[in-house]
Chain A
Amino acid sequence: MVSFIGRRLCQALFVLLIISVVSFVIQDNLGDPVRQMVGQSVSLQERAALQQELGLNDPLLQQYGRFLMGALQGDLGMSYYYKQPTLDVIVSRLPATLELSFCALLLVIILATPLGVIAAIHPKSLLSRAVLFISTLGLSIPIFIVAVFLMYFFAIEWRVLPSFGRGETTSFLGLWQTGLFNKDGLRHLLLPSFSLAFVLTPIFIRLIRAEMQDVLQSDFIRYAWSKGISAPRIYFLHALKNTMLPVITVGGIQAGTLVAYTILTESIFQWPGMGLLFMEAVTRVDVPLISAYLMVVGVIFVVTNTLVDVVYSMVNPRVRIPGYSA
């Protein structure tokens, strides 16, 4: 296990190195940060001085070297807009996004698993036809329309749920601003997480259904029937465990994408998370923040992929992480 994590860390460093190069190469093409930082009235001299002060006149390689040295010490630069270390800005937005992603995924799992299984077991039943129809609908309607509709009905017409923001948050152990432990925070969570779940659930229903139908044809399921095991046990234990293998892989990627790029949903609901932050950073040409953000996203993907591999190996005994024996 230790060597596994060690190798993953090396992999993460390599990924980050590449991302850092990419984010530096795009810097020049994102516009002039000085113009974004100062107003119209600032003189050319002052602009030049600021440019010099920010190190924007140095050769690109030197700027990159400086960034890399900083990054090694946990310093990903100062945000032009927030005038704070970029990492602090990003970390302060992390809880909101993580909680939203977690709730959305939880909803997806709760909805997609039974529906996908039922659609696989009784493909001709009315329920599975309805499930498939709705899932096609969910796949074809873009999330911003779903979100706007939900907002319109629940927040504006019926006034039962708040339309934007995170609501009240409480401090959890002093390091995490959470909305999960109070009613107002949970109410604010509902609409955005339902919007996300509405577009994600269909993918998983279809994935689970297709995999499950495949698994149900396999020899070991026929054998399980011949052992006289009860039907629910066969479907939800013997078949589902085998079905989940590809679902875990796709789910992991989706989880990473949710945390990193829930831009649309966060924008619509003004959810103060990372996606919204990234959106703002792009419009403000806050280059250090964008670079730092990409680096953090790299870490998120390496972490989620590592978690997926660990979970996968727990479900699938044929895959054992070297050095981690069970």
Chain B
Amino acid sequence: MSLLKLENLSVTFGNFRAVDQISYSVNEGEVLGIVGESGSGKSVSSLSLMGLIDYPGKVSADELTFMDQDLLSMPEAQRRKITGSDIAMIFQDPMTSLNPCFTVGYQIIEALKTHQGGTKKELKKRAIELLTLVGIPAPETRLSAYPHQLSGGMSQRVMIAIAIACNPKLLIADEPTTALDVTIQAQIIDLLIDLQEQKQMGLVLITHDLALVAEVAHRVIVMYAGQIVESGPASEVFSAPQHPYTQALLASLPESAAGKARLEALPGVVPGQYDRPKGCLLSPRCPYATDHCRNVEPASQGPLERQVKCHTPLNAQGRPAA
């Protein structure tokens, strides 16, 4: 059953479309990976799911439903109740995301109290359970620790503990390991995936790390300049990319450059507000772009579970088909 469904979701800041008509769904117990370079709208789209887009940002969608409830039309109070309980989010930088002025215990118990309530003793017990669950040693003493006394990895574990405190059905992890040491990254991902499997949560994993997505995600979405350029089962998308952008992303991995002097890189940057191309948004950077690509924006094509937004999708040999 689909947990979260969005249809043509856009987030605009004035004239600028940070997220441009994206559609996807997340099922129960499914891990959806969202990849793309900086500025491609990954984080903004996930913030919009949480209702965290501030003025002057505007969120619009043909459909934005969570467990068949319309998130956009429901009263604000009801949405705030879902936020942080049924849908929880963890952020990129754990060191700055926890409030420096409150203890870890306070911040965990606050989340529990907001959504579930209970006596002081119960809440404390539950907080200790949560810290144990995310693998924090000596949880009783950690409750009275302040965020600055924790390492980055510990802080991220605390954030995960807070996120799963109210047994969310959907967890959005926005680059949960980007700010962490490589050795800690694997531990945090293992923890997230363990919890996801245990609790059968839907997990939206936003990351730069293609190898990670290939490993843990069931399905993957590739975003570019606010649009979804390719989506499909993770194994297929990565073994046989159909969009030139996905191909370029994969080619830029160090593993792909074995034996070469330099890493492959796509020249240029993601277009911003003032340099948005007329046709396909990738056309200025795409090695296969034709005049048709430069003038006419492509539509998404292919079956629903394997879509690509390109005039000339790549074939199995990695060349434009047409």
| A residues in contact (CB < 8 Å) with B | 218-220, 222-230, 238, 241-242, 315-318
Contact = CB atoms under 8 A, between A and B. Distances in A.
B110 A227 contact: yes
B88 A318 contact: no
B203 interface: no
Given A219-B97, A220-B97, A222-B52, A228 B146 contact: no
Contacts of B115: 228
Interface in B93-151: 93, 96-103, 110-111, 114-115, 146, 148
B162 A219 contact: no
B285 to A, nearest CB: 31
B66 interface: no
B101 A219 contact: no
Nearest to A245: B101
A218 B93 CA distance: 11
A220 B98 contact: yes
30 contacts: A219-B93, A219-B96, A220-B97, A223-B99, A223-B159, A225-B50, A225-B52, A225-B83, A226-B50, A226-B83, A226-B84, A226-B89, A226-B91, A227-B83, A227-B84, A227-B114, A228-B84, A228-B85, A228-B111, A228-B115, A229-B84, A229-B110, A238-B102, A241-B99, A242-B99, A242-B100, A242-B101, A317-B101, A317-B103, A318-B100
A317 B147 CA distance: 9
Contacts of B50: 225-226
A227 B99 CA distance: 12
B80 interface: yes
B96 A218 contact: yes
B162 A227 contact: yes
Given A219-B91, A318-B146, A226 B100 contact: no
Interface of B: 47, 50, 52, 80-85, 88-89, 91, 93, 96-103, 110-111, 114-115, 146, 148, 159, 162
Given A229-B110, A230-B80, A318-B148, A223 B97 contact: yes
A226 B84 CA distance: 6
Given A220-B97, A223-B97, 8 more contacts: A223-B159, A226-B52, A227-B83, A227-B111, A228-B83, A228-B84, A238-B99, A317-B101
Contacts of B88: 226-227
A223 B101 contact: no
Contacts of A238: 99, 101-102
Contacts of A219: 91, 93, 96-97
Nearest to A239: B99
A225 to B, nearest CB: 5
Contacts of A316: 100-101
B91 A241 contact: no
Contacts of A317: 100-101, 103, 146, 148
B123 to A, nearest CB: 15
B99 A315 contact: no
A74 to B, nearest CB: 42
A224 B110 CA distance: 10
A316 B89 CA distance: 26
A224 B99 contact: yes
Contacts of A229: 84, 110-111, 114
B80 A228 contact: yes
Contacts of A222: 47, 52, 91, 97
Contacts of A226: 50, 52, 83-84, 88-89, 91
Contact of A220 (B82, B99, B111, B114): B99
A220 B96 contact: yes
B100 A223 contact: no
Contacts of A224: 99
Contacts of B159: 223
B179 to A, nearest CB: 11
Given A225-B52, A226-B52, A228-B115, A315 B93 contact: no
Contacts of B146: 317-318
Contacts of A241: 99, 101-102
Interface hub of A223, A224, A242 (most chain B Cβ within 10 A) = A223
A220 B110 CA distance: 14
Contacts of A315: 101
A220 B92 CA distance: 11
Contacts of B102: 238, 241
Nearest to A240: B101
B49 to A, nearest CB: 10
A211 B89 CA distance: 26
Nearest to B108: A227
Nearest to A217: B54
